[in-house]
């Protein structure tokens, strides 16, 4: 597909209205990413996607060597079903895609928290496939302390709740729980566990599931985000997650970004690169080059060790719409994209 002396022709794709102007966020993202790609001799094409423009977008992508995709799992009531099917089709035709939908299924839903719970970053995590499983499994766990429930797909706090037992009940469905959504400006409610399970019923349609983890008491101290290109940490973020803190919630400061050499996070970097990501790859069956060109792993602070060192608990893995990113991550991202396009020959990965 590629001609001349360029490193390849690559699309930068996001969901939007093709007739509307760039928003500030889209414009900033496109300019940053395209600048890094062009510095690596790639030719960059902006691609605006909507479900009703899938045929047009498919045709555009088939004329490119690769595409980097920034689309949330759920956005304005729309999921990625149509987009992912189209991305599978163009990938089968030899277009390099990051992140590939099959990789998203393995590591880009909340189920990864359950499947990797036994690794060094894991916690006491449970998976529920039906409302009845949720009722049976959650009730005894709440007696030991608050829990965090997450639907398998979601972003920006959509589909995340903190539950805390207020009063036992017999039967279990009559237990009273305090429920706090992670969506901004949500009210804290008290309702029966049965009513909460009933409200969650839509999240189990199709292959939908819910994940249950213990609430981390050090949440108010902040969250560390590791940005990765394939299996290498390329930067860090640090911010306060206020959504599940008791009201009144503090004003969240701006997220801080750092390069991969931030001294405070070197122990975490070593753990991620040498232990946790390789172990995750073995569990999920993902080779290194199939890992996303840019992704992030969110860690909450766990209990301190006897020597006073921090421990880290996996909160979330993001692979579908990772932005903003540290400046130091731009060059490795672009280089990974160029290498990915270079491995594509007649729709196959070179050995």
pLDDT in tens, 151-180: 998 777 788 999 999 998 888 888 999 999
Least confident of 15-19, 104-108, 266-270, 335-339: 15-19
Model confidence at 349: pLDDT above 70: no
CB hemisphere CA count around 1 (13 angstroms): 24
pLDDT band at 39 (very low <50, low <70, confident <90, very high): very high
CATH assignment at residue 306: 3.30.470
- Are residues 28 and 148 both part of a single domain? no
DSSP state string for 154-205? --TTTTEEEEEEEE--SSGGG-EEEEEESSTTPPPEEEEHHHHHHHTGGGGS
- 203 phi/psi in degrees, rounded to 5: -75, -10
Model confidence at 1: pLDDT above 80: no
Residue 159 lies in a domain: yes
User: What was the pLDDT predicted at 142?
Assistant: 95
CATH assignment at residue 70: 3.40.50.2300
pLDDT tens column, 313-344:
999 999 999 999 999 999 999 999 999 999 87
Cβ neighbors of 327 (< 8 A, separation 6 or more) are 235, 257, 259
Q: What is the pTM (predicted TM-score) of this model?
A: 0.92
| End-to-end CA gap in the chain | 19
What is the extent of the structural domain holding 171? 126-214
- Are residues 130 and 203 both part of a single domain? yes
Overall number of domains in the chain? 3
């Amino acid at each position: 597909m590629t001609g001349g002396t360029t490193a390849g022709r690559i699309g930068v794709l996001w969901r939007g209205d093709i007739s509307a102007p760039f928003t500030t966020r889209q414009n900033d993202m496109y300019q940053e990413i395209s600048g890094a790609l062009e510095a690596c001799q790639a030719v960059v094409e902006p691609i605006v996607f909507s479900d009703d423009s899938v045929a047009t977008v498919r045709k555009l992508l088939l004329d490119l060597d690769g595409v980097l995709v920034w689309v949330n799992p759920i956005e304005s009531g729309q999921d990625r079903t149509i987009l992912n099917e189209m991305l599978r089709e163009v990938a089968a035709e030899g277009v390099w895609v990051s992140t590939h939908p099959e990789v998203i299924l393995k590591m880009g839903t909340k189920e990864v928290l359950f499947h990797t719970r036994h690794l060094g970053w894991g916690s006491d995590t449970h998976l529920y496939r039906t409302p009845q499983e949720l009722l049976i499994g959650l009730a005894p766990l709440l007696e030991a302390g608050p829990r965090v429930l997450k639907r398998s797909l979601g972003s920006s706090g959509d589909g995340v709740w903190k539950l805390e037992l207020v009063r036992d009940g017999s039967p279990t469905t009559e237990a009273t729980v305090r429920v706090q959504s992670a969506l901004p400006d949500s009210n804290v409610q008290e309702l029966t566990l049965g009513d909460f399970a009933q409200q969650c019923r839509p999240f189990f349609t199709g292959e939908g599931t819910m994940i249950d983890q213990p609430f981390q008491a050090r949440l108010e101290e902040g969250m560390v985000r590791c940005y990765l290109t394939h299996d290498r940490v390329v930067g860090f973020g640090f911010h306060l997650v206020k959504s599940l803190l008791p009201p009144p919630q503090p004003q969240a400061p701006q997220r801080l970004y750092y390069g991969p050499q931030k001294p405070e996070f070197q122990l975490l970097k070593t753990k991620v690169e040498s232990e946790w990501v390789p172990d995750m790859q073995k569990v999920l069956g993902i080779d290194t080059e199939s890992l996303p060109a840019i992704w992030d792993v969110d860690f909450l602070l766990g209990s301190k060790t006897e020597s006073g060192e921090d421990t880290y608990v996996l909160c979330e893995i993001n692979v579908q719409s990772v932005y903003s990113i540290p400046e130091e991550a731009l060059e490795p991202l672009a280089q990974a994209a160029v290498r990915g396009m270079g491995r594509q020959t007649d729709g196959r990965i070179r050995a």
